[in-house]
């Protein structure tokens, strides 16, 4: 049936009708007093969501753009960084860091397994000369459905004293507790099409005072992604460049919806959805890619040991108009991923599981 597509991928995620309607209003001038008031309200909502009083910069970019900004604003060519790599996005941040001339050392884990915080501790404690300037970690590794132990890794970074912690929270913020101020996170990047429940197009970077001090010494080239310009504009409830005005309308409404639900309820809902999905998949006799104790709250990765993953995805799309995500890189065709992030309810998960059961039966017949 036309226009009946059910998005069950890690992003873009489903967008609530309230948010779509807010986005549909006529644009207004981005230098107007009315827009400044909206930005002021949005910024307060972002600080509430991030659990921080730190500066938050709103970029017209994807999550990757937010991460690039989070790296190039606080480091200089030749700086040593530790990058956690246990999936597609950890690997991306290592490549991105090398592209800007950073001295990259990777701490790796097999795809599907969480990073070991002890390896970070050992590297950081051994750095007596404080050459490590940043530790870059993907909190929720969406490519495999693994949640890394950011809290413990961050404690080891804090014990080091010199290094910044730069966090990809693209699929964890708005799904799992990320208390930026309580943990003392320095740079936290996220994207609009995930837990924020709005379309792609906005990136967010929360920046600590420690990071801003590093910004003053950083020499990597930047212009459009120069967060100093965004900080100055924030002080005037403005933006340094033309923002996607209607996405800001959407963000205002989405943040209002999130406040109505409450942070603890949001986190509890995502935990329920994760447990429901994982137990439902197990009941269908399908193995899971990540262990229960490492499971991310954004997606569940499944190993269809009796059928090709892409055939399952194609059947789900053709017969039920349900979009699932595939595997990436060497996992393409070997796993599929069920998204349960953002504007998703228990009813959605039951629908997907029922459709998956019928799909498996059809493919087995």
* CATH number of the CATH domain containing 352: 3.90.1150.10
Q: Is residue 282 part of a domain?
A: yes
Same domain membership, residue 284 and residue 137: no
Q: Is residue 84 part of a domain?
A: yes
Q: Is residue 299 part of a domain?
A: yes
pLDDT, average across residues 223-240: 98
Q: Is residue 100 part of a domain?
A: yes
Q: How far is CA 178 from the centre of its chain?
A: 11
Query: Would you call 176 helix, strand, or coil by DSSP?
Result: strand
Same domain membership, residue 297 and residue 336: yes
**Domains identified in the chain, total number:** 2
Q: Binning pLDDT at 50, 70 and 90, where does residue 365 land?
A: confident
pLDDT, average across residues 253-277: 98
Same domain membership, residue 291 and residue 357: yes
Same domain membership, residue 254 and residue 310: no
Q: At 47, which CATH number?
A: 3.40.640.10
Q: Is residue 70 part of a domain?
A: yes
- For the chain, the first-to-last Cα distance in angstroms comes to 25
Which of 259, 285, 316 is the last residue in one of the domains? 259
Find tokens 């070991």 and name the residue: 116
pLDDT score recorded for residue 344: 98
User: What is the average pLDDT score of the chain?
Assistant: 97
Same domain membership, residue 145 and residue 109: yes
Same domain membership, residue 47 and residue 142: yes
Give pLDDT tens digits for 99-113. Answer: 999 999 999 999 999
pLDDT, average across residues 142-149: 97
Q: Is residue 45 part of a domain?
A: yes
Helix (H) / strand (E) containing 350: helix 346-364
Give pLDDT tens digits for 152-193. Answer: 999 999 999 999 999 999 999 999 999 999 999 999 999 999
pLDDT score recorded for residue 4: 86
* Tokens found for residue 222: 């930047």
Helix (H) / strand (E) containing 336: strand 336-339
Give pLDDT tens digits for 75-128. Answer: 999 999 999 999 999 999 999 999 999 999 999 999 999 999 999 999 999 999
pLDDT score recorded for residue 38: 98
| Residue 196: domain span | 17-259
Which of 211, 234, 259 is the last residue in one of the domains? 259
pLDDT, average across residues 305-310: 93
Same domain membership, residue 274 and residue 250: no
pLDDT, average across residues 251-269: 98
Q: Is residue 1 part of a domain?
A: no
**Which residues in 34-124 belong to E strands, given as ranges?**
55-59, 80-85, 103-108
Same domain membership, residue 235 and residue 113: yes
Same domain membership, residue 60 and residue 190: yes
pLDDT at 1 over 70: no
Same domain membership, residue 266 and residue 153: no
* Tokens found for residue 130: 């404080």
pLDDT, average across residues 307-317: 96
Give pLDDT tens digits for 268-301. Answer: 999 999 999 999 999 999 999 999 999 999 999 9
Q: Is residue 40 part of a domain?
A: yes
Same domain membership, residue 135 and residue 63: yes
Which of 239, 259, 279 is the last residue in one of the domains? 259
Neighbour tally for 80: CB within 10 Å: 17
Contact in structure between 243 and 58 (CB atoms under 8 Å): yes
Give pLDDT tens digits for 7-58. Answer: 999 999 999 999 999 999 999 999 999 999 999 999 999 999 999 999 999 9
pLDDT at 2 over 90: no
* Rounded (5°) CA angle 317-319-324: 25
Distances (CA, A) of 148 to 85, 270, 350: 10, 16, 27
Same domain membership, residue 126 and residue 65: yes
């Amino acid at each position: 049936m036309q226009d009946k597509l059910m998005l069950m991928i890690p992003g873009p995620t489903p967008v609530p009708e309230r948010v779509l309607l807010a986005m549909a209003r006529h644009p207004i001038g981005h230098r107007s007093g009315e827009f400044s008031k909206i930005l002021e309200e949005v910024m307060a909502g972002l600080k509430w969501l991030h659990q921080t009083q730190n500066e938050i910069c709103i970029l017209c970019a994807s999550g990757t753009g937010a991460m690039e900004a989070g790296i190039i604003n606080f480091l200089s060519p030749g700086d040593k960084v530790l990058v956690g790599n246990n999936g597609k996005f950890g690997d991306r941040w290592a490549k991105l860091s090398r592209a800007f001339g950073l001295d990259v050392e990777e701490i790796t884990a097999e795809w599907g397994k969480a990073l070991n915080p002890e390896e970070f501790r050992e590297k950081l404690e051994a750095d007596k000369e404080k050459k490590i300037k940043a530790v870059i970690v993907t909190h929720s590794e969406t490519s495999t459905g693994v949640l890394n132990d950011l809290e413990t890794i961050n404690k080891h970074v804090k014990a080091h004293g010199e290094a910044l912690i730069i966090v990809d929270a693209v699929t964890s913020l708005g799904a799992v507790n990320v208390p930026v101020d309580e943990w003392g996170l320095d740079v936290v990047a996220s994207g609009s099409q995930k837990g924020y429940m709005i379309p792609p197009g906005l990136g967010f970077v929360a920046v600590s005072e420690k990071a801003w001090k590093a910004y003053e010494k950083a020499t990597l080239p930047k212009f459009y992604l120069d967060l100093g310009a965004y900080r100055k504009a924030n002080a005037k409830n403005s933006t340094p460049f033309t923002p996607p005005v209607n996405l800001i309308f959407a963000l205002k409404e989405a943040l209002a919806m999130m406040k109505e639900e409450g942070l603890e309820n949001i986190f509890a809902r995502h935990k329920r959805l994760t447990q429901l999905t994982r137990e439902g998949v197990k009941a269908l006799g399908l193995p899971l890619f990540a262990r229960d104790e490492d499971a991310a709250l954004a997606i569940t990765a499944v190993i269809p040991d009796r059928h090709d993953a892409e055939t399952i995805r194609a059947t789900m799309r053709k017969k039920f108009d349900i979009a699932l995500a595939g595997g990436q890189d060497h996992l393409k065709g070997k796993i599929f991923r069920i998204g349960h992030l953002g504007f998703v309810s228990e009813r959605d998960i039951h629908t997907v599981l029922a459709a998956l059961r019928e799909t498996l039966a059809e493919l087995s017949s």
